[in-house]
Amino acid sequence: MECRNRKQKTDDRNRSSVVCRLPSDLCRLSSVVCPLFIVIVVTLASVCLSQQATVPEKPALIGDVNTPGVPVAFPYLAEIVGDDVNMRSGPGTNYYACAKLYRGDKVKVAGSQSGWSRIVASAGSYSWISMRCIGVSLNNPAEGLITGDGVCVYAGSDDVLPMHSTSEQATLKRGDKVKLLGQEKDDYYKIVPPEGACLWVSTQYIKPLAPADQTPSATVTVADSNAVAPAKTSVEAEKLNEYYTIQKQVEAERAKPAAQQNYTSMKEALKAIAANKGAGKAARYAEFTIKQIERYELALTVAKEVQLQTEKLQQTSDQIDKTRAAKLAEIKDLGRFAVIGQFQSSAVYGSEAGAPGTRYRIIDKSGKIMCYAVAAGQTAKTDLSKLIGKKVGLVGTIEPPSPTAVALVRFTEIVELK
């Protein structure tokens, strides 16, 4: 309006300048006609302006889609014009793909950015949420209750692990409810995208629908953000109750001493739940608990083996102590003797018994050489041949073994023992 007023004023000035350049006689005539002319011009200008004001402005067009007649206001419904179109977790190909759209699918566009359209999460998409932040109702296994504040929901993808799904779709607060899709992975629940959750599609594959088609009936494949997951069967609820009962029994069994723990009946009950095709989530919980019990039983088996080995080791140690005590009991106090054993001549040194420097040997009951012996002092002058083969005790000093491997006893007294 400001631009049109500015143009009108310029045209009026131009008309005035033309009138002033007319011949003088006409000027005189114009002095009479001009007032009437001015009134007519002003009247016509007012009519034109009023007509222009009544003409409706054309709605602005969507910048990313060259489709005349479609308003820019969000949200609006659009149709997919490509095949195998990726819905991504963010506005760009560097974001991971979450699901597919196909030609003719209808979507609800909530915004746009740099050639990408933000759409309400549609059929086939899902989200991840941490299991630690959700409580599951026994009466309604399909419903989860948020148990914390500021809980993030992440865009889900079959090609990206939950822990690596980093695109946030929404933030929930304590008390909010979500719809579970009955699958868990890496401590995350798969859920229906909550209200406000969106994904992104390249705008080149978006064709806004004409105003006449902007009706709710056109959203055939658009997933309502408040969509409710199909209710689980009563079989799953029943099996979940059974599972939680068995789980409490397992926890009580774990509190018992290791020797008293027995999980046989619980495992059988859990296997029955896991084998039930209608048990749903309860079957997966049962399989997980069975694996836990198997680890418990393995630990019990190892503990029993260790206990048996410890007992055997103790028995062996006790037997060694008894044998040692018996051997010590057999050893008599040598008293003043350096060695006691059977007196024999030495075949190695071959000296004649009784000759000076003759070397003898002392052997034990098994015939093993205990030491060599050499008479010293007055004993060296004594005939020792009559003691050969008899048990004797030698009084003297013990020298370390050299060069032989046994010690040498230099005895000054030899006593025959019984």
Query: CA neighbours within 13 Å on the CB side: how many for 304?
Result: 11
Contact (CB, 8 A) for 77 and 213: yes
Q: pLDDT by residue (tens digit) across 220-243? A: 333 343 444 444 447 888 888 889
Q: Is 280 left (phi over 0), alpha (psi -120 to 50) or beta?
A: left
Intervals of CATH 2.40.50 along the chain? 339-416
Task: In whole angstroms, give the CA distance from residue 267 to residue 270.
Answer: 5
pLDDT-based confidence at residue 48 (cuts at 50, 70, 90): very low
CA dihedral of 75, 81, 85, 88, whole degrees rounded to 10: -20
| Eight-state DSSP code of residue 126 | -
| Eight-state DSSP code of residue 100 | E
Token couple for 30:
């114009």
Contact (CB, 8 A) for 343 and 384: yes
Q: How many CB atoms lie within 10 A of CB 126?
A: 21
Average pLDDT of 6-28? 42
Average pLDDT of 380-395? 91
Query: What is the per-residue pLDDT for 218?
Result: 37
Q: pLDDT by residue (tens digit) across 243-256? A: 989 988 998 998 89
Task: In whole angstroms, give the CA distance from residue 22 to residue 42.
Answer: 21
Task: In whole angstroms, give the CA distance from residue 99 to residue 159.
Answer: 10
Q: pLDDT by residue (tens digit) across 259-284? A: 899 999 999 999 999 999 888 878 88
Residues 6 or more apart from 407 whose CB is under 8 A from it?
Answer: 371, 372, 398, 399, 400, 401
> Under CATH, which number does the domain 339-416 receive?
2.40.50
Query: What is the per-residue pLDDT for 42?
Result: 45
Confidence (pTM): 0.39
Any idea what the Cα angle at residue 292 is, between residues 291 and 298, rounded to 5°? Answer: 90
User: What phi and psi, each to the nearest 5 degrees, are found at residue 222?
Assistant: -80, 125
CA dihedral of 62, 67, 68, 74, whole degrees rounded to 10: -40
Query: What is the per-residue pLDDT for 292?
Result: 87
Which residue in 286, 206, 202, 303 sits closest to 244, CA to CA? 286
Query: What is the per-residue pLDDT for 356?
Result: 62
Residues 6 or more apart from 282 whose CB is under 8 A from it?
Answer: 236, 239, 240, 242, 243, 273, 276
Average pLDDT of 31-56? 46
**Amino acid identity, position 223:** A
CA dihedral of 106, 110, 116, 121, whole degrees rounded to 10: -60
**Amino acid identity, position 252:** A
| Eight-state DSSP code of residue 74 | S
| Eight-state DSSP code of residue 67 | -
Which residue in 12, 219, 249, 254 sits closest to 123, CA to CA? 219
Q: pLDDT by residue (tens digit) across 406-417? A: 889 999 999 999
Average pLDDT of 390-405? 85
User: What phi and psi, each to the nearest 5 degrees, are found at residue 384?
Assistant: -100, 5
**Do the bridges between strand 407-416 and strand 369-375 make them parallel or antiparallel, or are there none, so unpaired?**
parallel
User: What phi and psi, each to the nearest 5 degrees, are found at residue 396?
Assistant: 175, -155
Exposure string of 107-120, with b = 16+ CB inside 10 Å and e = fewer, is bbbeebeeebbbbb
Token couple for 138:
């026994």
Look at 22 and 165; give whichever has higher pLDDT: 165
